[in-house]
Structure 1
Amino acid sequence: MSEDIKEKVKKIIAGHQMGVLSSVENNKPHSRYMTFYNENLTLYSPTKRDTEKIEEIESNPAVAVLLGYEENGLSDAYVEITGTATLNDSQELKKQYWDESYEKWFDGPEDPNYVFLEIQPEIIRILNMSGEPPQEITLEN
């Protein structure tokens, strides 16, 4: 993978914690806004264990994520990530990314319903880079 492209991707992701997660429900895309944390291009998204997205991912782990648009989007670079999602309920991860704003959904970082989707990217595309053609990288897991 070109380190230049990888650095561009990291920069875009670093500036955008909110994005769109699409999973598959009844063989059709199902999208929703989510919060994402990045660790070397592996994405983590907090969620409730008892949501339909968990059932969808258990049935079909293929997901897509969009991160990057701002305001009007006319010249904003963004990334499109396709990959595989799994459930991660690591207590270390739950403590690392705990935010007080999550208290309206969870009883704290020890809440068993507080879990993360771990998204391993397979293909990452950078789009809308000031007139440049899309750039794509394929990751081997």
Structure 2
Amino acid sequence: MELEAKILEVIRGPKLAALATVKEESGKVLPAVRYIVTMGFEDFSLMTATRKSSGKVRDIKKNPNISLTIWSGKDLIPEDLTKPYVVIKGKAELIDDQETKNRFWNPYLENHFNGINDPEYGLMKFVPNSIEYYHGKTVNVWIK
């Protein structure tokens, strides 16, 4: 299987991911990491819903460079611990286009927003510059 297909197997569909942004606070530059749910697409871009007032949005507005880590396993059981994962380095952009938000909306988001027209409902798109694919002792790198 080609590297691109292997990467798509890891990122496609809703996935739990660790998002790292650059946080500038009190004159210090620190990494800020939080869990998000992403949706991966054929062009390797990913999207997530976000509150427009969130810390990650503030971080992205100041510095759009991000890193995402997505593991393809589901449970902490021996057979899943050997499943591949990817580390994505790229840029984030904020999306507030209503048509795109309508297409992305799903019932799960009702737990976080007061409907599709909630003024806090926004999207964040991640566009990779490189993707590291880890499986066992092997590391392969895709570069845009």
**TM-score, structure 1 length as denominator?**
0.87
C-alpha RMSD of matched pairs (Å) = 1.7
**Equivalent in the alignment of 2:5:** 7
Alignment match, 1:84: 91
User: How far off is 1:112 after superposition?
Assistant: 2.2
Amino acid at match of 1:116: L
Q: How many residues align?
A: 135
- Where structure 2 has 5 or more consecutive residues not aligned to the other structure, the ranges are none
**Map of 1:37 onto structure 2:** 39
Q: Secondary structure of 2:130's partner? A: strand
Larger proportion of strand: 2
**1:96 matched to 2:103:** yes
- Percent identity among equivalent residues? 25
Query: Mind listing any 5+ residue stretches in structure 1 that lack a counterpart?
Result: none
Map 1:1-141; keep pairs closer than 5 Å.
Answer: 4-14=2-12, 17-26=15-24, 27-39=29-41, 40-70=43-73, 71-72=75-76, 74-127=81-134, 129-131=135-137, 133-139=138-144
Q: Which amino acid aligns with 1:113?
A: E
State the distance in 2 between where 1:76 and 1:104 align: 30
CA contact under 8 A between 1:65 and 1:81: conserved in structure 2?
yes
CA distance in 2, matches of 1:6, 1:90: 29
Residue 54 of structure 1 and its aligned partner are, at CA, apart by 0.7
**Deviates most, 20-29 or 68-77:** 68-77
CA distance in 2, matches of 1:74, 1:105: 30
